[in-house]
Amino acid sequence: MQTDSNTKTDLTFEDFKSEVLNDYKIAVTSRECSLLGRREVLTGKAKFGIFGDGKEIPQLAWAKVFKNGDFRSGYYRDQTFMMAIGQLTIEQFFAGLYANTDISLEPMSAGRQMGGHFGTHSLDENGDWKNLTEQKNSSADISPTAGQMPRLLGLAQASKIYRNVEGIDTTNFSKKGNEIAWGTIGNASTSEGLFFETINAAGVLQVPMVINIWDDEYGISVHAKYQTTKENISEILKGLQRDEDNKGYEILKVKGWDYPALIETFQKAEYFARKEHVPVMLHVVELTQPQGHSTSGSHERYKSKERLEWEQEFDCISQMQKWMISNNIATQDDLNALNKTIKKNVRDGKKAAWSSYLEPIKSEQQEASILLTALADTSSNKVFINKIINQLKGIDEPARRDIASSIRKALRYVISEDSIEKDHIQTWINAYMETVQPKYSSHLHSTSKRAATNIEEVLPTYDSNAEQVDGRLVLRENFDAIFGNYPEALVFGEDVGNIGDVNQGLEGLQEKYGELRVADAGIREATILGQGIGMAMRGLRPIAEIQYLDYILYALQIMSDDLATLHYRTKGKQKAPLIVRTRGHRLEGIWHSGSQLGGIINLIRGIHVLVPRNMTKAAGFYNTLLESDEPALIIECLNGYRLKETLPNNIGEFRTPIGVVETVKEGTDITLVSYGSTLRIVEQVAKELIEVGIDAEVIDIQSLLPFDINHDIVKSVTKTNRLMVIDEDVPGGASAYILNEIINTQNAFQYLDCQPKTLAAQSHRPAYGTDGDYFSKPSAEDIFEAVYDVMHETSPIDYPKLR
């Protein structure tokens, strides 16, 4: 059903007629899917529906100029486009609505996202890149409004990099940078800051990006007069229009029901973006939304009678019908007959999708019922189990929840009984859970051979007369090696380029590798992240620098909703191995204290969080990640750039393992666990504790996500029988997470002789100055006294009260 983007100059009228009729079929098919999809939600077969009705005709025009290699970064109204490029069938549309977990039947997300969220497969079964230049690509959608915009910027910037940077193997990713990144957004969502941040950044970077704004004048129930100044986004942004003297945008505007004008306008947009490599804003106005925003309510509640009448008349499909009839492409009878056939095709596709979804579950329901019946026949609680069986059998359209719940409840009635039937059903439910749970939980991280935890450690090596240098120089030399060894690697962020970052870890590298590979960026953290996500999705190896850990908060939504979920929400069919570089820990002041880890690690599951104690460890993490295919956040110690480290002789080659702790001092009395800058204070205190007869074992966590995959900390606790976690985050922040991992995941509680302790910072952000740091975060004296108090509780005679 794909559109035919026929551009032959000798196109006959019959060819033209055939193409128009094919477009009309796609539009009506999409509309019928929306109408029937809403009914499926209202009857309870699907949980929620959000559809693309009213946007069909402009999406057909868009599909005609969307070429192999191009990327879409859109939102949940683009179903007609996906059908038009041959990436969404009727059956797949309904499989998404029903949340079918079979990715061969529901290729967008295997049921992990609600219908209307679209993506194509960038990876093969082994997690390796497919040839993206030979297919039409859609980055996986997210629901948060305007959240698709930062990623769009990076998808477009990748074309600029591929066109202008030499030495990159572009085989699977680009043909001379000719690809366009196309975005879509609703007019109401243009009020979001992410929209404005992205629009400004794309204008500065001059990348081949087209943003399609679908304008139906409403954001759910709120009219544009409450959303946008002058009720017109292209009008208020017309200052971005480029001219002979200034770079900027090409801004186009077209009515969304005018089929020939839409085709002409999209062709213009493609020319400017593909040939001239400039951003384009395409404002599609006078669109409608026939069913309202979603299945949550009706638009009759907030639209006037006059508006509803106008929408009926200027519905884009209705207007296309009138145009086709007036231009002798079809008669009304022709269209009526065609509509009838399409309705039947959609109904048949819906039935097939429902059957494909339900039949495996009904088979599981029958199997469970047989096992339950056998269990009931041998149980003294037969009457109660039979009630469960009858309830399960009585469900005409079961869910897997019903099956699992029935079995698990039945087992409660045979707790004290022994039988072969009980053994069978226990075995069955355990196997069932092991089989079913991954359908909803797998692929948070890479399962390929390049998963980060598969990359083996390579220790740094040193010459006998190795030089002692500032830590920043270890980083600089390592980045130099990275850019020399990986032509596809690049770094960008605030103050990264000209001055080589605020701590000179990239000193001189822009001059050596050029402004595209070592680049300054504006103060716009969310789109710095977006640049990285988009470029990583197209095969580049970006390092996005956020100047301080505190500033991650500006980009946290993008990290959490987009980057962290990408591999999961596509069930391993897309990846973005982005490295996010930042610095934090122990600097004075509320806004540069770097103490948000408790929040960060719980909001970005799916991204590795690495906390090296020095720059050699940090450099090793960069080297490891560039061999990996997963995203990570690396937090360098802000007060470590000028501390002396020994310069390794295998720069660019040594690797710090991910998920592995390091015992930096062995001891017998208590296990002290920390990371980053605080770890260095703990090391100092451990030496002081020796003076009072306390031999502490000190462990550097190094990696918060994943955490101690070898369970080395519990091995330490079995020896010392005491545990303290020291952290500079707020109480209950990262320290609570660390303690939970050690006590509950590693089961260290059984080896403890006393209560495990946490020592965190104060509940507030650190006050400014040296004294502010001392009285806000754990000091050496705080740590010493806390450890001493543990030993005092254990043996008051050997360790008299200190104060």
Q: Give the H or E element holding residue 236.
A: helix 233-236
Could you give the residue ranges of the DSSP H alpha helices within 451-596? 471-485, 509-513, 525-537, 552-558, 566-569
CA distance 572 to 140: 11
**Taking CA 48 as the corner, what is the angle to CA 91 and CA 349, rounded to the nearest 5 degrees?**
15
**Taking CA 78 as the corner, what is the angle to CA 76 and CA 79, rounded to the nearest 5 degrees?**
100
Residue 592 is a catalytic residue: yes
Backbone angles phi, psi at 186, to 5 degrees: -75, 155
**Taking CA 459 as the corner, what is the angle to CA 457 and CA 464, rounded to the nearest 5 degrees?**
170
Residue 217: name the closest of 265, 286, 275 by CA. Answer: 286
Tell me 562's DSSP state.
I
Q: CB neighbours of 252 closer than 8 A, spacing ≥ 6?
A: 265, 268, 269, 280, 281, 282, 283
CA distance 45 to 354: 9
Identity of the amino acid at 351 = K
HEC-encoded secondary structure of 358-419:
HHHHHHHHHHHHHHHHHHHHCCCCHHHHHHHHHHHHCCCCCCHHHHHHHHHHHHHCCCCCCC
Structure tokens at 799: 């360790």
Q: CB neighbours of 359 closer than 8 A, spacing ≥ 6?
A: none
Structure tokens at 301: 């509640």
From 443, 592, 608, 711, active-site residue: 592
C-beta separation of 503 from 495 below 8 A: no
- Bridge partners, residue 584, by sequence: 637
C-beta separation of 632 from 567 below 8 A: no
- Catalytic residue list: 592
